[in-house]
Structure 1
Amino acid sequence: MTKHEPLPSHASSGHSHHGAPDHGHSHHGHSGRNHEGHGHEHANDAELAQMLDLDAHILGSYLAEATAWAAELAVTTPAAIIDVGAGSGVGSLALARRFPTAHVTALDMSAQMLGKTLELAAVNGLDGRITGIQANLNEGWPASATADLIWASSSLHELSDPERTMADMFTHLSPGGLLMVVEMDSLPSFLPESATEGDVVESGLESRLHAALASNGWNQYPEWTAGLERAGFVVERRHFPTTGSTTQELAARYGRIFLSKIGGALAESSSAVDLAALDVLLGDGPGSLERRGDLVVRGHRTAWAAHKPVS
């Protein structure tokens, strides 16, 4: 059977790589270090960056929708924005483009990821409009990090005390400011929803694998509304389903990176039939991801818009 690597927490959760403590693992799905209660290993920074870039390239349309929602909700046009867990910088770039008069601060604990963010900014003509702060948010919020809009995509759940950080965010937001929290609310899917005749992969394979991962506590996060309200915010939420527009080659590359991570986490909770089907997808035979030609990448996000009252 194909050797499966351990599953990284939130291996493609959007774009984030934030300031949770370093236990020798690099993040996850945009974004950080391992967080309390998950205990899964993380990809190294180079692998993480590749996953985040593919996720953003294929499923990044949610960023346009979510940042548009933020612009619609903002009481005033934000002059200062903080991207918490900026990861490879895709979110920072989207924010800078959505708010062309704003200065964006990418906040991350990884110097390597901050470097990638600043490189991305320079390549896209945004050098100077995006800057970085290296910080571990489990040790406290940087005193200089104040903003009119704070963006936290796939990063809040990674912190050891999210509610403390919510309170810090509330304190460091301008009156009338906005905090946007985004989470991947389901794992990415790649296979057709219905199998065709003769397909070695039976219908519902990914749903069963995702359910097995969920039973192990993976990709779970709280419903953030109550915690945000306790911090003082007024909250509303919205769901952003996304079907990626991409080539089969990129879909297969993203699928291989993601699916190659899940075998180790599923060894004790999935059937031998499903694990064998996973091996076929990750092999190099006619049933492999690269040879199927019918991949459709799907992903879903939920966003919480948390308003700080003017007074």
Structure 2
Amino acid sequence: MTHAHPHASHHGAQHSPRHDADPDGQAEILDLDAEVLAEHISAITAWLPVEREPREVVDLGCGTGTGTFALLERYPEAHVTAVDSSAEHLRRLRDKACDAGVRERVHTVQADLDAADWPDLGTPDLVWASASMHHMSEPDRTLRSVHGLLAPGGLFAVVELAGFPRFLPESAPEEQPGLEARCHDASERYHAEHVSHRGADWGPMLTAAGFAIEGERTITVNIDGSQDAAIGRYALGTLQRLRHSAVDSLSPRDRAALDRLLDVDGPHSILRRGDLVVRTERSVWAARRGK
């Protein structure tokens, strides 16, 4: 973003580049995605087959900066141009960069990546897109734009999520076992209609855009959240977003059980559970522009 995204975008998650207002707490979800999955995001940046340490990096659909800060940490000489359509996300990213003492290494650009003409983003050695490509209305055009943007021999890293993360055991909640799986099934049907490229295999599309695939891998996430309050908040925010996309397909009993989980002041709140586990996957493609 992982992104991540959850499809906030988290993910992450997940990292959606298409929202300027933030009524759903999307920015908070993106920040939690970065906190909870920091180790896995670091593993992705460590895996990237860079030929030399990049000096100029572009983070497309950067959200609140999950990828930006992971890349700044991985490549201490790099400058990152962080691109997103959300002014609020970019403001939060700049504030975090100031707090981290790296503001001079970050340049933010507000732009709609679905537009035919992009602003000047330089000639980066590395372009990173986490949980943003599936939001593009014309991804083939976006991939060609990235190919033209990169320096010869530059690398394009595409990170995508395997849907929303899962948190609950199959036996939960006690009155409606399997609720989370049914929410995910309903959400998948919703997103199949509205976000047609989610879950796509980006390898053939990258090749068609002129890239050479240099690596592909899947990162499996399985994190015990019993002692981590951040994971409870992450689960809460994720289920709130799941409710938005799944509610019309759920039975009245499932809706009632879900609302009990989402009632932060109630005795059945997901924040009170000690059996949460973050389970998800992130797929990564590393594609190079020819020299």
TM range (shorter): 0.7 to 0.9
Q: Deviations over 1:25-63 (max 9, x none)?
A: xxx8222227xxxxxxx9716821111111111123221
1:215/1:111 CA distance change after superposition, 3 Å: closer
CA–CA distance in 2 between the matches of 1:31 and 1:217? Answer: 13
Q: Paired residue for 2:137?
A: 160
1:293/1:43 CA distance change after superposition, 3 Å: farther
Q: Paired residue for 2:56?
A: 80
Query: Displacement, 1:305?
Result: 0.8
Q: Paired residue for 1:299?
A: 280
Q: Paired residue for 1:210?
A: 184
CA–CA distance in 2 between the matches of 1:9 and 1:79? Answer: 29
Q: Paired residue for 2:175?
A: 200
Does the aligned pair in 2 maintain the 1:252–1:290 contact within 8 Å? yes
Gapped regions of structure 2 (runs ≥ 5): none
CA–CA distance in 2 between the matches of 1:144 and 1:252? Answer: 38
Does the aligned pair in 1 maintain the 2:152–2:290 contact within 8 Å? yes
2:162 counterpart SS class: strand
Query: Displacement, 1:299?
Result: 2.4
Gapped regions of structure 1 (runs ≥ 5): 1-7, 16-27, 35-41
Q: State which of 242, 247, 254 in structure 2 corresponds to 1:262.
A: 242
CA–CA distance in 1 between the matches of 2:250 and 2:114? Answer: 35
CA–CA distance in 2 between the matches of 1:127 and 1:11? Answer: 25
Percent identity (aligned): 40
CA–CA distance in 1 between the matches of 2:100 and 2:211? Answer: 34
Residue 309 in structure 1 maps to residue 290 in structure 2: yes
Paired letter, 1:270: L
1:82 counterpart SS class: strand
Q: Deviations over 1:188-210 (max 9, x none)?
A: 111124459xx2241x3222221
Query: Displacement, 1:100?
Result: 0.8
Does the aligned pair in 2 maintain the 1:12–1:55 contact within 8 Å? no
TM-score (norm 2): 0.86
Does the aligned pair in 1 maintain the 2:166–2:180 contact within 8 Å? yes
Q: State which of 79, 90, 103 in structure 2 corresponds to 1:127.
A: 103
Relative to its length, the structure with more helix (as a share) is 2
TM-score (norm 1): 0.81
Q: Deviations over 1:215-251 (max 9, x none)?
A: 2235634221111111111123211111336544322
Q: Deviations over 1:8-34 (max 9, x none)?
A: 99225236xxxxxxxxxxxx8222227
Paired letter, 1:237: E
Paired letter, 2:122: A
Report the count of equivalent residues. Answer: 279
Q: Write out aligned runs for 1:1-311 (5 A).
A: 10-14=7-11, 29-33=14-18, 44=22, 47-70=25-48, 73-139=49-115, 140-195=117-172, 199-202=174-177, 204-218=178-192, 220-235=198-213, 236-244=215-223, 246=225, 247-283=227-263, 284-310=265-291
Query: Displacement, 1:74?
Result: 1.0
1:205/1:56 CA distance change after superposition, 3 Å: same
